[in-house]
């Protein structure tokens, strides 16, 4: 099909002019397209048009476009009575209510209205593109065009191929996305598409470890910000989005993937969702709020003044040992040099994916004196430590005091395979690998989409390269071994690349 997505008179129809639809109208008009918009609620499209006009004129006042360009963009937008008036459109994007029947009904009507080579697209956030298209006479011209909220600020757009979508449709939508000054990423239809799938790794694994009593909301948020480099912790993020959005999306993705354990939600989220404890919007969530709606964050445990009498560091993980010895040297701490710890020494281990208990048992160490330190992530802003269930509190406090001696905060969590950051990041990387393995998207596109759509410091593959594919693989393998839960099984994509000693980005011919 010869479809010219670059034609200057390209006309886009937008149906549903709520939060998303109006944003799509704005970027399309600013990108030089003519836009016809409509909404089933009387007056809604006109309201949205006025809103778009205000936004475009404000952009001109701020200098991001000329006044003439802004006026021309506003003139390209028109309100029409309904889908039956969309005949002149080359592409129609739907952003109506998130309901399968409503969307299928709308597209059935549109299909009989527009020309045979008009592209039909949905902005659905959670329904299957293939399923929406299944009722069409011409599913080959149907695709997903998934924007993020707020559209003018979020540059990512996922261009989603349904099972029967033809290439010319996806290619045209990629061009249209670029004309809208977006960063389009191409992928195949899958539950949660790309970004919402990867996002489960962050929020669900965080909830799992709080559910298990390993840590609390505030500490997990602190660790993921300071250690993982995330702009916001997983619970802070869910506070903003609201569990009324996050939890149903998680349940849906889990069931759409036939109960894949990687996406399994847990009771931390569901019970809050059912109790209406949703986050900021319900004035109570993982955090409480003061009168000014500022989150009340429980304070950190202050660093104890105590220090260990002697310190010994296990050599079982040579890289971790070297990192920790370097830090202890900076802190001015003498470390025992024997192959075994002396009778009173604090025993420090540096596991990759193991818990402190496994280290103590398998290395034949005294579990009452064993404390594990996470050395997989940078130690400059925060350190994470954990003991075995038998670790004497005086030894745990001595380790805490010692590692905080230079003023860097230390988070103490309960025994956990993978501490906090190791396991959350490993899950993100593993889900990225499963998206690549299923050929849903290319590794480089997965990283691009995740950094743009979720604002993570790295995409899954970059994280894998920074931490080392072999070490992320070991985190997951150890977790899988210790928990016996297939949730943690490494994907075959990761396993092969880790065993071959190559980057996770390595494609297959």
By CB under 6 A, name the binding residues for ligand NAI: 15-21, 39-41, 44, 95-98, 102, 106, 123-125, 147-149
Cα distance between residue 449 and residue 184, in whole Å? 8
The Cα-based distances of 85 to 70, 78, 132, 139, 143 in angstroms read: 25, 11, 22, 21, 21
CB of 152 to ligand NAI, least distance (A): 13
Q: Which is closer to ligand NAI, CB of 121 or CB of 420?
A: 121
CB of 456 to ligand NAI, least distance (A): 18
Q: Which is closer to ligand NAI, CB of 126 or CB of 140?
A: 126
Question: What residue ranges in 156-276 does DSSP mark as E strands?
Answer: 156-161, 183-188
Q: Which is closer to ligand NAI, CB of 108 or CB of 492?
A: 108
Q: Which is closer to ligand NAI, CB of 146 or CB of 462?
A: 146
Q: Is 196 a catalytic residue?
A: yes
Q: Which is closer to ligand NAI, CB of 16 or CB of 177?
A: 16
Cα distance between residue 195 and residue 207, in whole Å? 19
Q: Which is closer to ligand NAI, CB of 78 or CB of 216?
A: 78
Query: Would you state the structure tokens that stand for residue 189, as one six-digit string?
Result: 């239809």
Q: Among residues 90, 94, 111, 125, which one is catalytic?
A: 125
Handedness of CA 275, 276, 278, 282 (dihedral sign): negative
CA 61 to chain centre: 34
* Structural contact between residues 319 and 355, judged by C-beta atoms closer than 8 angstroms: no
CB of 327 to ligand NAI, least distance (A): 42
Using CB positions, name the residue nearest to ligand NAI. Answer: 18
Q: Among residues 90, 146, 208, 400, which one is catalytic?
A: 146
Q: The tokens 């709080």 sit on which residue?
A: 210
CB of 159 to ligand NAI, least distance (A): 14
Cα distance between residue 189 and residue 12, in whole Å? 23
Cβ neighbours of residue 448 closer than 8 Å, sequence gap 6 or more? 156, 183, 185, 459
CA nearest neighbour of 361 among 314, 305, 394: 314
Q: Which is closer to ligand NAI, CB of 134 or CB of 394?
A: 134
Q: Which is closer to ligand NAI, CB of 148 or CB of 395?
A: 148
CB of 199 to ligand NAI, least distance (A): 12
CB of 102 to ligand NAI, least distance (A): 5
Helix (H, G, I), strand (E, B) or coil at 87: coil
CA nearest neighbour of 173 among 137, 129, 131, 142: 142
Question: Does an H or E element contain 404, and which?
Answer: none
Question: Does an H or E element contain 425, and which?
Answer: helix 421-437
* Structural contact between residues 413 and 384, judged by C-beta atoms closer than 8 angstroms: yes
Cα distance between residue 431 and residue 464, in whole Å? 12
* Structural contact between residues 250 and 201, judged by C-beta atoms closer than 8 angstroms: no
CB of 7 to ligand NAI, least distance (A): 26
Cα distance between residue 201 and residue 206, in whole Å? 8
Query: Would you state the structure tokens that stand for residue 283, as one six-digit string?
Result: 């004035």
Cα distance between residue 235 and residue 246, in whole Å? 11
Q: Is 149 a catalytic residue?
A: no
Q: Among residues 94, 158, 205, 236, which one is catalytic?
A: 158
CB of 340 to ligand NAI, least distance (A): 57
The Cα-based distances of 275 to 177, 236, 278 in angstroms read: 40, 19, 8
Q: Among residues 196, 215, 314, 430, which one is catalytic?
A: 196
Residues labelled as active-site residues: 125, 146, 158, 196
């Amino acid at each position: 099909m010869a479809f010219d997505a670059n034609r200057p008179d390209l006309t886009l129809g937008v149906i549903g002019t709520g939060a998303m639809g109006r944003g799509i109208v704005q970027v399309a008009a600013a990108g030089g397209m003519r836009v016809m918009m409509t909404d089933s609620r009387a007056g809604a499209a006109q309201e949205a048009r006025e809103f778009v006009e205000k936004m475009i004129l404000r952009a001109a006042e701020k200098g991001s476009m000329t006044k003439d360009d802004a006026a021309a963009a506003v003139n390209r937008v028109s309100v029409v009575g309904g889908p039956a008036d969309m005949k002149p459109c080359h592409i129609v994007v739907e952003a109506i209510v998130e309901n399968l029947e409503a969307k299928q009904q709308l597209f059935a009507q549109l299909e009989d209205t527009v020309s045979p080579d008009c592209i039909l697209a949905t902005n659905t956030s959670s329904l299957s593109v293939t399923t929406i298209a299944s009722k069409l006479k011409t599913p080959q011209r149907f695709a997903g065009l998934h924007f993020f909220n707020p559209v003018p600020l979020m540059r990512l757009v996922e261009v989603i191929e349904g099972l029967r979508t033809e290439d010319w449709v996806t290619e045209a939508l990629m061009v249209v996305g670029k004309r809208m000054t977006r960063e389009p990423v191409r992928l195949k239809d899958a539950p949660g598409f790309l970004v919402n799938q990867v996002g489960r790794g962050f929020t669900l694994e965080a909830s799992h470890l709080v559910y298990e009593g390993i840590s609390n909301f505030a500490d997990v948020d602190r660790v993921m910000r300071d250690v993982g480099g995330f702009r916001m912790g997983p619970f802070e993020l869910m506070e903003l989005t609201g569990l009324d959005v996050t939890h149903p999306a998680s349940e849906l993705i889990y069931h759409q993937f036939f109960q894949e354990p990687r996406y399994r939600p847990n009771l931390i989220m569901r019970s809050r969702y059912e109790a209406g404890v949703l986050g900021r919007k319900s004035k109570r969530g993982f955090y409480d709020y003061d009168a000014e709606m500022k989150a009340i964050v429980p304070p950190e445990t202050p660093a104890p003044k105590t220090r260990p009498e002697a310190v010994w560091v296990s050599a079982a993980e040579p890289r971790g040992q070297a990192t920790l010895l370097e830090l202890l040297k900076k802190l001015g701490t003498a470390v025992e040099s024997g192959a075994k710890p002396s009778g009173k020494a604090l025993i420090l281990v540096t596991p990759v994916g193991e818990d402190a208990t496994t280290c103590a048992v398998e290395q034949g160490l005294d579990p009452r004196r064993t404390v594990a330190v996470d050395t997989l992530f940078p130690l400059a802003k925060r350190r994470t430590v954990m003991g075995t269930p038998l670790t004497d509190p005086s030894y745990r406090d001595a380790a805490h005091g010692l590692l905080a001696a230079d003023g860097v905060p230390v988070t103490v969590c309960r025994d956990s395979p993978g501490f906090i950051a190791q396991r959350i990041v490993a899950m993100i990387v593993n889900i990225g690998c499963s998206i690549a393995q299923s050929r849903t998207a290319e590794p480089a596109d997965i990283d691009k989409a995740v950094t743009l759509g979720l604002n993570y410091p790295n995409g899954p593959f970059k994280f894998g390269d920074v931490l080392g594919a072999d070490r992320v693989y070991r985190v997951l393998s150890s977790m899988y071994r210790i928990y016996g839960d297939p949730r943690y099984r490494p994907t075959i994509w990761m396993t092969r690349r880790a065993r071959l000693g190559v980057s996770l980005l390595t494609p297959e011919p």
